A and B are shown apart, each in its own frame.
Chain A
Amino acid sequence: MYALVDCNNFYVSCERVFQPRFVGVPGVVLSNNDGCLISRSDEAKALGLKMGEPFHKVRPFLEQHGVWVRSSNYALYGDMSRRVVEVLSLFTPEVEVYSIDEAFLNLAGLRYAAPDLVQYATEIQRTVAQHVGIPTCVGVAPSKTLAKLANRLARKLPETQPRVWVLDTEAKQQDALRRMPIEDVWGIGRRYALKLRDNGIGTAAELAAMPEPWVRRHMGGVVGVRLWRELHGHSCLSFDPQECDEEGQLVSIGASKRSLTHSRSFGKPLCEHRLLREAVATFVARAAEKLRQQGSAAHVLTVLLGTDKYAPTAGPSTHTTVVTLASASDDTSELTQAALHGLQELARPGVSYHKAGVVLSGLEPATQRQMGLFTKSPELLAQSSKLMAALDTLNARYGRQTVRYAVAADRDPVWQGRSAFRSPRYTTHWPDIWKVN
């Protein structure tokens, strides 16, 4: 059996742990750069506020209804997420972090320790609420897809009772499948749902009732069959433990990522070449740090620049250029040079950019690098890795960007994204520490 534990309105709930005034009052958290709503309290949902609505559009409405507003505070959410996962691992050693606010628990082997699954799931929920202060919904079922489905049903329960839904019998599974519209099934996208509806399949139960050969033919072969079997309660999806990094992005534990991205929207559009260089160099430094953390070196570096998404001008809003390195590198100075070279080609004079980013790909283990004829000698490589290790140690100890290449930015660059309403980093930053009277 699998349990899916999903934190309710996670970012809003994190803010509430340290700000009791926010409890019971409508509130929202904004995306990076204060762009749009990414987390809403139940009260805010009841006011009709939608996910992803642009902040500047709904701002008067928020003020009128006394809705509190926070910029996203990933330092806080990351720390709270880590705490939730740590509490979950008191219940089973196998915890798969699926996103910053959801985790699967493998309950196999707990048949005797937890004969009553409803009671066990309620206990998980109660413990997370007490130890970390975050409300959750728990769905339990024999497959991950069904656990996800059970979780959706648990979410519909009133707050006054444990929001727990267990699909431990055939009858309960059938009932849940009948209640689930096809577009709400995990792994079925919006476009696919439309296609299925055209075929007269409107619920999960109707999909489960189709014969397996039909599924194999019409739903992308083995992928579809896997989903179909999951709906029948046969576990087919593998368990892949992950954890969230400090920006809420998922990193697989064990398996390394195949590409690393660091990109940000600017607080205001940038035109000046010097500032674009500064931003790109800063993002390279972060990406290179992550690269070294997972012990990889990159062959390929992509620079991306984004113009205004909402501008009326024709053409795409994201522009990229790819730089291939002579040999894979994890050295910030080499990667910075490559990125600045790419930027030189990409950036058009007189154009304002809203966003920039760097993607490192073509990754290989740093220790098994393919040598090139005209690349660094082993002695130089050893020197570079020593320098990078020293750089990472200093920055880990004294704060990010304490030691940096001169082209990169200081800590509060002019292009930094807006976060006008960010709460203090209560649990991770000494000057911001939580104050109690």
Chain B
Amino acid sequence: MSEVVYFELAEDALPLELPLMACPVPAGFPSPADGYSDQTLDLHRYLFERPASTFLAQVTGDSMLGAGINPDDFIVVNRAITPVDGHIVVAVVEGEHTVKRLRQENGRMWLEAANERYPALELPDDYRFEIWGVVTHVIHPFMKKKTPVAAWANQPRKWSPS
């Protein structure tokens, strides 16, 4: 036996958006997934909180191995963040971009590698340097693709009948 209960609805309520059900409403058992419908997760929005000031770069060197940044990894660089002691940053040193950890202490400032093969780089007051942006994330693949990530998406491919 089914029982029908009527609810009163306010006529001039705010517009109510109902989620679109993913499957047709069945006459028998309802889908166990209904009621849990959600948007898909958007990794782009997670990594690029400020898309206008966030840039993606590929790392070429091994000076930051100790911080978990390997050669060929992608780093997410945000220019909207003001760098402070301990941030991993992209700095401009002698006309080149470089990833290092920024250290500040007692008015001294230096750039530190996370690899003992690279010496720290002291930044005296008169040294011309610039912090380009702050590294917020690293994207590291555990499986190497033969081609660079998603390079296929931009490459023309020849189709040939097999």
Binds B, one of A35-43, A130-138, A382-390: A130-138
A85 shortest CB reach to chain B, Å: 8
- What is the minimal beta-carbon distance from B9 to any residue of chain A, in angstroms? 35
- Report chain A residues within 8 Å CB of B75: 436
Residues of A within 8 A of B52 (CB): 82-84, 86-87, 131-132
Q: Which residues of chain B come closer than 8 Å to A87, judged between CB atoms? A: 52-53
Task: Answer whether residue A350 sits at the interface, using C-beta atoms and an 8 A cutoff.
Answer: no
- B151→A131 contact, CB < 8 A: no
* Inter-chain contacts of A429 with B (CB < 8 A): 154
Say yes or no: is A112 at the interface (Cβ < 8 Å to chain B): no
Q: Which residues of A (206-237) have their CB < 8 Å from a CB of B?
A: none
**Residue of B at shortest CB range from A84?**
B52
Q: How far is the CA of A410 from the CA of B96 in the complex (A)?
A: 36
B55, B77, B90, B132 interface centre (most CB from chain A within 10 Å): B55
Known contacts A434-B56, A437-B60; A21 and B156 CB within 8 A of each other: no
Check B154 against A130 for contact (C-beta < 8 Å).
Answer: no
The interface residues of chain B lying within 8 Å CB-to-CB of A23 are 95
Contacts of A436 in B (CB 8 A): 57-60, 75, 77, 90, 97-99
If A130-B79, A436-B99 touch, whether A430 touches B150 (CB-CB below 8 Å) is yes
Q: Is B70 part of the binding interface, using a Cβ–Cβ cutoff of 8 Å?
A: no
Q: Which of A27-59 contact B (CB under 8 A)?
A: none
Q: Which of A397, A427, A435 is within 8 Å of B60, CB to CB?
A: A435
On chain B, the residues within 8 Å of A374 by CB distance are none
A431–B154 alpha-carbon span in the complex (Å): 8
| Centre residue among B52, B61, B149, B151 by max chain A CB count within 10 A | B52
- Flag A54-96 by CB within 8 Å of B: 1 or 0 each: 0000000000000000000000000000111011000000000
Residue total for B at the interface (Cβ-Cβ under 8 A): 34
**Cβ of B79 and Cβ of A133 under 8 Å apart?**
yes
State A402–B61 Cα separation when bound (angstroms).
Answer: 35
Known: A83-B52, A83-B53, A131-B80. A430 touches B149 (CB 8 A): yes
Q: How many residues of A contact B (CB 8 A)?
A: 28
Q: In the complex, what distance in Å separates the CA atom of A435 from the CA atom of B80?
A: 20
Known contacts: A20-B92, A86-B51, A435-B60. The answer to whether A399 contacts B150 by CB under 8 A is no
Q: Which of A125-163 contact B (CB under 8 A)?
A: 130-133
Hey, what's the 0/1 contact readout for B74-85 against A, CB within 8 Å counting as 1? Answer: 110101100000
B41 part of interface (Cβ distance < 8 Å): no
Contacting pair B56 A433 (CB below 8 A) = yes
Name the A residues within 8 Å of B55 (CB-CB).
426-427, 434
Judge whether B61 and A437 touch: CB under 8 Å. yes
Tell me the nearest residue of chain B to A432, going by C-beta.
Answer: B154
Question: Is A310's CB within 8 Å of the partner chain B?
Answer: no
Contact, CB under 8 Å: B57 / A435: yes
Name the interface residues of B128-162: CB closer than 8 Å to any CB of A: 130, 132, 148-151, 153-156
Cα-based distance from A429 to B153 in the complex (angstroms): 9
User: A433: which B residues are within 8 A, CB to CB?
Assistant: 56-58, 74
Interchain CB contact under 8 A, B98 and A430: no
Return the chain B residue nearest A25 by Cβ. B95
Task: Kindly report which residue of chain A lies nearest to residue B133, judged by CB atoms.
Answer: A133
A-B contact sample (17 more), CB < 8 A, given A131-B80, A430-B154, A436-B75: A21-B95, A82-B52, A83-B51, A87-B53, A131-B79, A133-B79, A430-B148, A430-B149, A431-B151, A431-B154, A433-B56, A433-B58, A434-B55, A434-B57, A436-B99, A437-B61, A437-B99
Residues of A bordering B, CB below 8 Å: 20-21, 23, 82-84, 86-87, 130-133, 397-399, 402, 410-411, 426-427, 429-431, 433-437
7 contacts between A and B (CB under 8 A): A21-B96, A130-B53, A131-B79, A431-B155, A434-B57, A435-B60, A436-B60
Interface residues of chain B, those whose CB is within 8 Å of chain A, are 50-53, 55-61, 63, 74-75, 77, 79-80, 90, 92, 95-99, 130, 132, 148-151, 153-156
